[in-house]
Amino acid sequence: MAAEKPATPKRLRVGCAGARQFALLDQQCAISEANSFLEAIELRGLSRWTVRSYAYDLLLFYRWLLESDRKLHQLTAADLVQFVASQRQGDAAPRSINRRLSTIRLLYRFHCGSDLGSKHVSLPGPHYKGPGRDHDLGLHALHKRPTLQLRVKESRTLVEPLTPDQVRAFFGKVTRYRDLAIVDLMLFCGLRTCEIIRLEMGDVGFDDQLIRIRGKGGRERVIPLPQALGRALRQYITIERPARSSSSRLFLVLQGPRRGSPLTAAGLRTFFRHRRQLALLASANAHRFRHTFGTDMARAGVRLPVLQKMMGHADAKTTLQYIQLSMTDIAEEYRRALAALDKRYGQR
């Protein structure tokens, strides 16, 4: 009898299995090896979006395992190099590849009880400094560096904030109080898409002028409610929000068969896509408005610890990525410096 062929990689998909939010399926059959890992991730209390990201990373990984006829327990560090090569051929972004490598290492450690490639690792480095004492000072022994892990170099791109003209052009295409309030929450409060979707009616305090936000990792924060945003929210709740809806969510669908149901991330993306097409602004996505908020606060002199709390970052390094100098800032400083030099040396 001929040996049974492995499952076709394209049949693998992410779906639901039992009480789990996400599971890896092959023709309606759950892949237990991956799903036991996802179940442990859910038990840790991570957010639905984090579990979803793990699930889709595993989907790509197990498709590659089937295509290359490999098994999880037999993987080596050299196999990870082949995985990176296949991802490169598929034009995956370096940051996505590194995240998938981290997911694979966590999966391997979960099932095998050891780190993948911990015994046999050979990676190129920028330089080599041998063991022993510092030959110049001779004061202390050099600490052994941790084992290098395979990673793809990520290029650091400068994210430009929106200009005032671009913001005004986008606002010119906003026609509803609900949508106006959503854009204000990103531009003047720095909220993420998921945080806007999670907002409930009781989170907005019109009397004390505060908004309670549920951020990543279950971290809550409270930020002031700007007057313009407060007016937009009052008009939305009074005029547009479906009164018969039983949902406690703040932002609801306003038309169509889903009228009165909570607004979804897909619906929010659709709104931004349509408005930036109308305004002819290819870069006016939801995250760009949040980035513009961080840049504007930094330009206004808001201290880093305060800005970190306002944006809901667990690490200050993440906040620093949002307030990198833009080309506009650099050009302005350069012109100011040139003006000072002209005064010092005079016109030639």
- Do the domain assignments include residue 343? no
pLDDT tens-digit readout, 183-236: 999 999 999 998 999 999 999 999 999 999 988 877 889 999 999 999 999 999
By CB atoms closer than 10 A (0-12, 13-18, 19+), residue 189 is: buried
Do 186 and 97 reside in the same domain of the chain?
Answer: no
Q: Are residues 59 and 186 in the same domain?
A: no
174 and 78 fall within a common domain: no
* Domain end (from 72, 95, 112): 112
pLDDT of residue 128: 45
Q: What CATH number does the domain containing 20 carry?
A: 1.10.150.130
Question: Is residue 151, in this structure, part of any structural domain at all?
Answer: no
> CB-hemisphere CA count at 13 Å for 275?
24
Residues 85 and 185 in one domain: no
Nearest to 312 by CA among 233, 182, 211, 240: 211
64 assigned to some structural domain: yes
Query: At 176, which CATH number?
Result: 1.10.443.10
Q: Is 255 found in the same domain as 190?
A: yes
Which of 79, 112, 145 lies at the terminal end of a domain, its last residue?
112
Q: What is the band of 112 on the pLDDT scale with cuts at 50, 70, 90?
A: confident
- Does 321 map to a domain? yes
Amino acid 254: pLDDT: 93
Q: How many domains does the chain have?
A: 2
Flag whether pLDDT at 99 surpasses 70: yes
Domain residues for 240? 164-330
Domain termination site, one of 112, 136, 151: 112
In a domain, 133, yes or no: no
* Same domain as 319, residue 201: yes
Residue 276 belongs to some domain of the structure: yes
Q: What is the pLDDT of residue 29?
A: 61
Same domain, 103 and 172: no
Per DSSP, the residues of 283-308 read: T--HHHHHHHHHHHHHHTT--HHHHH
C-alpha 101/C-alpha 116 separation (Å) is 10
Tell me how far apart the alpha carbons of residues 65 and 50 are, in angstroms, rounded to a whole number: 23
Residue 206 lies in a domain: yes
| C-alpha to C-alpha distance for 149 and 182, rounded to whole angstroms | 41
Asked whether residue 201 falls in the same domain as residue 318, the answer is yes
- Condensed to tens digits (0 to 9), the pLDDT of residues 221-230 reads 999 999 999 9
Does some domain include residue 287? yes
- pLDDT value at 142 more than 60: no
